[in-house]
């Protein structure tokens, strides 16, 4: 299935089943945040389109934001825990061994910024799923990781969905 067909079918489903929009946003954000899964699901584009549907179709904004934030935080948490479980040997396994330069840059980013790298990484496409995985591999403490994870997930979901929701609501006036 091509990306355009996936986007179109997801948006058609959201329009038809508006009550499921928070759950759909959660699943998409989860897919976007899990290290390997994010390579196969174009969730950011679809979530931005869902944001536009919020304003145009009269969907409740906050439940969708909360769903997306929960999905993103859960996906990053899973990537982090997989990284902790795999440990430093993960860098010699797929997919990290296929991208050694990117892995090294992400490690340097985490080394320089610490827990803030988790929050900042969420806003940069390729780093979004890699930073939590490497934070786990490098043994970052769980509580600071989760604090940065959950707070940045909430901000990310709002920033991603608000422009589309606000613009279409404004044009509908």
The residue written with tokens 């969708």 in the block is 64
Quote the CA–CA distance of 138 and 136 in Å, as a whole number.
Answer: 5
Whether residue 152 is predicted with pLDDT greater than 70 in this model: the reply is yes
The whole-number pLDDT of residue 167 equals: 60
Residue 35 structure tokens: 């290290």
Residue 66 structure tokens: 């909360």
The whole-number pLDDT of residue 3 equals: 66
| Mean pLDDT score of the chain | 87
The whole-number pLDDT of residue 16 equals: 81
Quote the CA–CA distance of 130 and 7 in Å, as a whole number.
Answer: 24
Task: Report percent pLDDT > 70 for the chain.
Answer: 92
Highest mean pLDDT among 17-31, 89-103, 136-150: 136-150
124 DSSP 8-state letter: S
Number of domains composing the chain: 1
Least confident piece of the model among 45-59, 62-76, 114-128: 45-59
The whole-number pLDDT of residue 158 equals: 95
* Omega before 95 within 30 of 0, i.e. cis: yes
Contact 132, 118 (CB under 8 A): yes
Range of the domain at 50: 3-172
Least confident piece of the model among 102-106, 113-117, 124-128: 124-128
Total Cβ atoms within 10 A of residue 67: 24
Largest CA distance in the chain: 56
Predicted structure pTM score: 0.88
Whether residue 147 is predicted with pLDDT greater than 60 in this model: the reply is yes
Mean pLDDT of 43-65: 85
């Amino acid at each position: 299935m091509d990306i355009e067909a996936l986007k179109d079918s997801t948006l058609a489903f959201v329009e038809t089943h508006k009550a499921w929009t928070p759950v759909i946003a959660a699943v998409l954000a989860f897919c976007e945040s899990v290290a390997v899964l994010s390579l196969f699901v174009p969730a950011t584009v679809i979530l931005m389109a869902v944001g536009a549907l919020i304003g145009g179709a009269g969907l409740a904004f906050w439940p969708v934001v909360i769903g997306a934030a929960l999905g993103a935080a859960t996906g990053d948490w899973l990537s982090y825990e997989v990284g902790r479980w795999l440990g430093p040997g993960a860098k010699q396994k797929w997919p990290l061994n296929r991208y050694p330069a990117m892995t090294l840059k992400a490690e340097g980013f985490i080394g320089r910024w610490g827990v803030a790298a988790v929050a900042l990484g969420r806003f940069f496409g390729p780093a979004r799923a890699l930073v939590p995985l490497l934070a786990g591999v490098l043994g970052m403490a769980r509580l600071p990781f989760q604090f940065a994870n959950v707070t940045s997930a909430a901000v990310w979901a709002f920033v991603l969905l608000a422009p589309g929701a606000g613009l279409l609501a404004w044009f509908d006036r």
